[in-house]
C-alpha cells in the first residue's frame, strides 16, 4: 500500500501551542516521522507532506496525495481547547461510509489505552479540507489536547512519543494485515527449492504479484 502521512501545520503555522510553548507542528512532525519509519520497516510505501518545519497549504496536501495516487491519507494533529482540562483522542472522517471508519475506531481505542487518555470516538466532518478534497479514503487524528498541561508535560518524554507513534503504526499496519517490526529485526521466509530456474522465477513473480515486492531468488 501507499500511505500519505500529513503532519499538520509547519513553518509559519505552528498550529496549537501549549502553555509552556510546545508547538503542535513540532510534536506531530516528531510523532509522524516515527510512524513513517515503522511503516517503511514493514515494507509499506510512504509519502509525506513535509519532513521538516516548513509550511504547506491545505490544497497542496490534498493535491500531492492525489497526484501520488496514494491508497490512504492520514493527517496527524494535536487538539486544543479553552477548557484546559479537556483531554482525549478522537479521529475524524468524511462520513460513516468511509472505508477507514473501522480503522478510525481502532486508532481511538488503541491510543486511548496506550497513553491512558479518554476515547472521544470517531467524528464526522465534511468541512475539513483534507477529508473533502482527497480522492482516497482519509482520516484525521487528534492525538490529545496540547492545551492540557499534563498532556503537554508528557510530550517531553521520548517514551511517550514512541508509545503514541507505535500505537498508531500498529493500528495502520493491522488494517493491511501487517504488524510492526520490532527493533529493526527482519524475518525472511523461504518458500521453495527448484532444480529448474524457470520454476523459481515463476514462483518469485507470483509472490511479487501478490504484494511480496521483496521476493528474490538465492
Whether the pLDDT of residue 217 is over 60: the answer is yes
Residues 104 and 201 in one domain: no
Query: Would you say residue 30 has pLDDT above 60?
Result: yes
In percent, how much of the chain has pLDDT > 70? 95
Q: How far apart are CA 119 and CA 142, in angstroms?
A: 11
123 three-state secondary structure: strand
pLDDT tens digits, 156-184: 999 999 999 999 999 999 999 999 997 55
**The pLDDT of residue 186 is above 60:** no
The three cell numbers locating residue 78? 494535536
- Our count of domains for the chain comes to 2
Could you tell me the CATH number of the domain that includes residue 134?
Answer: 3.40.630.40
Cα atoms found within 13 Å of the Cα of residue 202, Cβ hemisphere only: 7
**Shared domain check, 166 and 213:** no
Report the alpha-carbon distance of residue 25 to residue 16 in Å, rounded: 8
- Which residue matches cell numbers 493527517? 75
Same domain, 48 and 151: yes
Domain that holds residue 214: 188-218
In a shared domain, residues 145 and 194: no
DSSP state of 23: B
- Number of C-beta neighbours around residue 21 at 10 A: 8
Q: Where are the alpha helices (DSSP H) in 12-146?
A: 24-41, 58-67, 101-114, 129-132
Q: Over the stretch 107-121, which tens digit does the pLDDT of each residue have? A: 999 999 999 999 999
Distance CA 32, CA 26 (A): 10
Instruction: Give the pLDDT band (50/70/90) at residue 93.
Output: very high
Considering the domain architecture, whether residues 166 and 81 belong to the same structural domain is answered as yes
**Residues 37 and 137 grouped into a single domain:** yes
Say if 180 falls within a structural domain.
Answer: no
Check whether residue 117 and residue 166 sit in a common domain. yes
CA–CA distance, 107 with 110 (Å, rounded to integer): 5
In this structure, is residue 181 part of a structural domain?
Answer: no
Shared domain check, 205 and 112: no
Q: How many residues does the chain have?
A: 218
The predicted model scores a pTM of: 0.84
Per-residue model confidence (pLDDT) at position 193: 80
State the residue for C-alpha cell 512532525.
Answer: 29
Amino acid at each position: 500500500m501507499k500511505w500519505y502521512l500529513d503532519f499538520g501545520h509547519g513553518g509559519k503555522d505552528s498550529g496549537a501551542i501549549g502553555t509552556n510553548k510546545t508547538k503542535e507542528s513540532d510534536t506531530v512532525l516528531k510523532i509522524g516521522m516515527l510512524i513513517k519509519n515503522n511503516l517503511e520497516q514493514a515494507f509499506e510505501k510512504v509519502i509525506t507532506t513535509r519532513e521538516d518545519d516548513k509550511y504547506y497549504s491545505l490544497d497542496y496536501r490534498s493535491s500531492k496525495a492525489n497526484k501520488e495516487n496514494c491508497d490512504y491519507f492520514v493527517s496527524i494533529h494535536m487538539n486544543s481547547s479553552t477548557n484546559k482540562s479537556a483531554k482525549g483522542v478522537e479521529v475524524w472522517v468524511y462520513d460513516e461510509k468511509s472505508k477507514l471508519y473501522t480503522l478510525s475506531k481502532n486508532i481511538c481505542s488503541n491510543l486511548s489505552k496506550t497513553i491512558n487518555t479518554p476515547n472521544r470516538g470517531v467524528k464526522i466532518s465534511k468541512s475539513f479540507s483534507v477529508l473533502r478534497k482527497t480522492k482516497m479514503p482519509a482520516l484525521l487524528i487528534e492525538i490529545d489536547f496540547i492545551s492540557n498541561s499534563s498532556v503537554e508535560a508528557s510530550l517531553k518524554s521520548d517514551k511517550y512519543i514512541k508509545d503514541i507513534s507505535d500505537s498508531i503504526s500498529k493500528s495502520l499496519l493491522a488494517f493491511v494485515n501487517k504488524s510492526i517490526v520490532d527493533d529493526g529485526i527482519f524475518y525472511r521466509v523461504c518458500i521453495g527449492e527448484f532444480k529448474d530456474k524457470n520454476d523459481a522465477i515463476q514462483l518469485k513473480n507470483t509472490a511479487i504479484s501478490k504484494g511480496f515486492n521483496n521476493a528474490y531468488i538465492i
